[in-house]
A and B are shown apart, each in its own frame.
Chain A
């Protein structure tokens, strides 16, 4: 400090010398630390949801996956953002996560695909795993699972429990994924109770609790004594069913607490193990940009716990069928599959064509309602 002139001449030389020695030492030390700490190196993962993570629906199920990863993958730290709209906003959220140190991002909503592709291009070192998309990039893959087998099992439970032989299905929009669930549910119900039919009411929106309550009421008034649905959150129809004293089958997540009496069972997602495998594959460098698709057999879709009113006999029957699904002896979409109007779309012994499955646009026999 007292000799600024001296310092200014000696400083650079000294610093150069120091760095000559220090740099290799520091590098070695870092490498050694990395080698020993590799299995539990901290990895930051960002999760983005289109709705609230406590909706007991799709977003809740995804968030349960996040909690599983945090618990079961050593070193995994997660952050999450909810209620993020499917527009440029989600790109900003992703960039914020990346600046905060996230190296894996799970954009879980369907509409996040294109924004995720944009951000993925900008940050090639970050891994993106999109929920349900159909495109990939060098650092973007997708994950999803088929839940229709679980829906079939839930339908069996409903078919066995109904007294009026009328089941009610409350649905948002006639898109293939929803139609698959309705058809799987109906086939399951009819497999144990050929007289059971499923009446479908379209609400025309993913989230309008008022309309959902009234749709549930109309189904009950029309004689349905088991309700189920496919809208964002099962809370409204589950509570309305309980209020009206009828039974309810859930979808997305276990919403049994909203219908302590009427809850039968639910077809639920189990994203945890799949997400954990994805994170581990990124950690050990084996991750590839691919479409990962799970199912009931792999444990990615599941049945929730049964409600108190389901007798052991019914539980045993449903669980036996679950074993058949898991062992592969039971195929949900194998013929004969008859459409609502009586036309056979897959004959006995044949599988439903992939195009018909992926782009399902029909109701099976036993469904009351219109697809359009």
Chain B
């Protein structure tokens, strides 16, 4: 394998690996915002998922059960958001912030005994013969289950959202609650489902980070990735098919800042660390103006305040 192949393959997998936790959360937040609810609590749900995933993997020795626990924890926490904003018609921003703080505090408190513990995560999938293929070789030898699953989840969700009846009901609720109600849809149920699905995906993102990516639990380890995902929803224009490029934009820029340093590019690291945010901001500005022209924003999101009456 040539050095170039290894470098390019290495960069692609590195970008994907950094993007994976983000991609899970992004897919979840897309679903939630598709039913016209913003959930800022994803950061806290991610942390809950990361801790639950790590703890379950430690207890059972099985990283798959860790992922299941992560999904469950994310969902459990998001049910609070569903209860507050759908059940009690509370303001979604306030409720999201509450969920975030709760997830942060609870995971920090219950996470103390798990610091410094060792878990056995997934092995790389590494399908033997494929390793010799140029570029792809380096890529496949390092790919892990959560990365592969996230890549599959994006088109699957896209297909579901645009091609199935239940997907249509999500979109209808997101466009106009009153019209959806007039059509006979149980809007509160659909909105609650959208929030719970977002919780499941963000919990998965957290578990991917702790169980697979780092095999480590550290207080506050998501470091703002959940909130970044909330911003990237706009870049992905609420479209699951565009979630991979949107997440890769941030994750890829993060991987690039690290790789530029290892290849000895003489640029200030402080400057480099702003790159993921700058790149996302640039694309956000561009795509937002286009989204305004061509649509893509669930119309109900704009009516977020009138809905809570």
Task: Point out residues on A near B: beta carbons under 8 Å.
Answer: 51-52, 54-56, 60, 82-83, 168, 174, 199-205, 207-215, 217-219, 221-222, 224, 232-233, 235-236, 239-240, 243, 257-258, 368-370, 372
Contact = CB atoms under 8 A, between A and B. Distances in A.
B266 A83 contact: no
B254 interface: yes
Given A55-B115, A369-B264, A204 B213 contact: no
B21 A217 contact: no
Contact of A258 (B113, B118, B262, B273): B118
A173 to B, nearest CB: 9
Contact of B14 (A52, A209, A218, A257): A218
A266 to B, nearest CB: 15
- Give the secondary structure class of B's interface: helix
A152 B225 CA distance: 37
Interface in B233-277: 254-255, 258-259, 261-264, 266-270, 273
Contacts of B116: 52, 54-56, 60, 233, 235
Nearest to B11: A221
A102 B263 CA distance: 52
A82 B116 CA distance: 14
Contacts of B214: 209-210, 212-213, 236, 239-240
A168 B261 CA distance: 11
Interface of B: 6-7, 10-11, 14, 17-18, 21, 108, 112-113, 115-118, 121, 142, 209-210, 213-216, 218-223, 225, 254-255, 258-259, 261-264, 266-270, 273
B262 A199 contact: yes
A251 to B, nearest CB: 15
Top-7 shortest CB links A-B: A54-B116, A202-B269, A221-B10, A209-B214, A222-B262, A52-B115, A204-B273
A98 to B, nearest CB: 24
Contacts of A202: 261, 269, 273
B223 A370 contact: no
A238 to B, nearest CB: 10
Contacts of A232: 218
A52 B219 contact: yes
Given A236-B216, A370-B261, 5 more contacts: A83-B219, A199-B264, A211-B258, A217-B10, A218-B261
A359 B269 CA distance: 19
30 contacts: A52-B115, A54-B116, A55-B218, A82-B112, A201-B261, A203-B258, A205-B223, A208-B221, A209-B209, A209-B213, A209-B216, A209-B221, A210-B18, A210-B222, A211-B254, A212-B214, A213-B213, A213-B214, A214-B17, A214-B18, A217-B14, A218-B10, A218-B255, A221-B10, A243-B121, A258-B118, A368-B264, A370-B266, A370-B268, A372-B269
